[in-house]
Amino acid sequence: MIKQVSVVLAAALLAVVAHAEAPAEVRAQARDIFQTVIGFKTSAGNGQVPLMAEYLAGKFRAAGFPAEDIHIVPLGETAGLVVRYRGNGKGGKPILLMVHMDVVTAKREDWERDPFKLIEENGYFFGRGTEDMKSEVALLTTTFLRLEAERFVPTRDLIIVFSGDEETEMATTRNLVEQHRDLVDAEFALNGDGGGGRLDEATGAPQFYYVQGAEKTYASFDLTVRNPGGHSAEPRIDNAIYELADALKNVQAYAFPLMWNDWTIGSLKASAAVTPGELGAAMARYAASPGDPAAAAVLAKDPHYVGRTRTTCVATLLRGGHADNALPQSATATVNCRIFPGTSVDEVRATLQKVAGDKVEVKTLGEPYWSGPSPLRQDVLDAVAKAVHADHPGVQLVPDMAPYATEGSVYRGAGIPTYGVSSVFMKDSDDFSHGLNERIPVATFYAGLDHWYVLLKALAGKR
């Protein structure tokens, strides 16, 4: 399939359009929306996602979107927002455009600046959600408003879905897919929470742009050992904590089978060209000979790349015993797995059970949402190339599989192919999503207006 990747991406690279910088009034509108949404404390427990959804819904109403095409779908303390931009239907089924409104918790006392106030400083916008994902919320909202003001009629419906709990349960997305499928059904989805461009650390020049077509499945398992216990003055040979520790060492030592797909091979091949030393050489070898164990061993030493070659499982939580003078009656560890597309959750649970041994009970937590890779689509790649080249001419598009999970996995699992096409270009060293002092380059934010405008025009413009 490597040849197929090269042919498809080579064709996409031929697509170039003239720069389409947004007018000053559109840039000002985007900044105003960005500043406002950063101010909503939409981390779990604050109950402010519905307030943000209502603010955004008001923007769409004021722009003339019909009330019947704007839906706030409440769920517990949070909510999802769905906005449909009506097309003429000549282009087929709708396109879904998805990002999330919620953010990871940010404590004011830990930050240098107020995390819930948009601050522009030294060429960056600072604030919780500037990168993940309120920038894309502001950009997509502004793009819809801009297209409506231009009286643009797409060839198919465009549907914005702003979810409310991606950082925790993804329940708003599951609720929309399972209970409100008519609102979100689409031919394919574009995910602002995946893909994106990388800038060179030294020069700041764009290196390449990732198009994300696959993600790993997120699944956690409890490994539990039970025991009658007893008095600590009379130790037993069979101790629940020791037996659990032995099982965890077995899990640590186990390596899941090597795997690959079009997205991972294309990503490693492109990354090899700009990665020096042993790591870059291993990327090239694995891309040329998928499953090469020597190359995989080198990649496994780098936490950023080990997940691109196989399923990974790691212990994340530990609890056991009930008193310091009593033998433990139980001991439990939570093991979090990121499952490679093509492997089921049940297969991973069975493997963990075999590796941990008969004395350990392995239980799947929650209801993991499995998804496979999306197909390579020429129309999507061509349109993304146009959007990327609007501000970064000639930049190479690179297929990618995320070693983590986003809400794209829910849509893929529901039969809607999903492609990560974030507008963000950043240096790796500027990535502070989920961390302190989160930021995004100012230039990158405004370039995002060009990205989404060109992308939607390319996919749903006149035919």
Quick one: 220 exposed, middle or buried, by C-beta within 10 A (0-12, 13-18, 19+)? Answer: middle
Nearest-angstrom CA–CA distance, 226 and 424: 49
- DSSP class of residue 259 equals -
Per-residue pLDDT in tens (0 to 9) along the chain, 463 residues: 444 454 455 444 444 444 568 999 999 999 999 999 999 999 999 999 999 999 999 999 999 999 999 999 999 999 999 999 999 999 999 999 999 999 999 999 999 999 999 999 999 999 999 999 999 999 999 999 999 999 999 999 999 999 999 999 999 999 999 999 999 999 999 999 999 999 989 999 998 899 999 999 999 999 999 999 999 999 999 999 999 999 999 999 999 999 999 999 988 998 898 789 999 999 999 999 999 999 999 999 998 889 999 999 999 999 999 999 999 999 999 999 999 998 999 999 999 999 999 999 999 999 888 888 999 899 999 999 999 999 999 998 999 998 888 999 999 999 999 999 999 999 988 888 888 999 999 999 999 999 999 999 999 997 6
Nearest to 224 by CA among 325, 319, 157: 319
Q: All domains of the chain, ordered by start, with CATH?
A: 2-215+371-460 (3.40.630.10), 217-365 (3.30.70.360)
**Burial category of 108 from C-beta neighbours within 10 Å (exposed 0-12, middle 13-18, buried 19 and up):** exposed
Q: Which are the contacts of 268, defined by CB distance < 8 A and separation ≥ 6?
A: 283, 284, 286, 287, 305, 308
pLDDT the model gives residue 385: 96
pLDDT value at position 369?
81
Regarding beta strands 158-163 and 78-85, do their DSSP bridges make them parallel or antiparallel, or are they unpaired?
antiparallel
Which residues, including other chains, have CB under 8 Å from residue 242's CB and lie 6 or more apart? none
- Which pLDDT score is estimated for 147? 98
pLDDT score for 462 = 76
The pLDDT of residue 3 = 44
* Cβ proximity of 255 and 351 under 8 Å: no
CA 374 to chain centre: 14
What are residue 316's phi and psi, to 5 degrees?
-125, -25
Parallel, antiparallel or unpaired: strands 217-226 and 119-121: unpaired
Q: What is the DSSP string of 365-387?
A: ES------PPPP-HHHHHHHHHH
From CA 345, how far away is CA 339, in angstroms rounded? Answer: 7
Q: Provide the whole-model pTM.
A: 0.87
Cα-based distances in Å from 139 to 33, 296, 453: 9, 39, 9
Instruction: Identify the pLDDT of residue 37.
Output: 98
Q: What is the pLDDT of residue 463?
A: 61
∠ Cα 420 426 432 (to 5°): 95
Asked if 11 and 381 count as a contact pair (C-beta separation under 8 A), the reply is: yes
CB contact at 8 A, 439 and 225: no
Report the pLDDT value the prediction gives residue 20, as an integer from 0 to 100.
60
Nearest-angstrom CA–CA distance, 66 and 89: 18
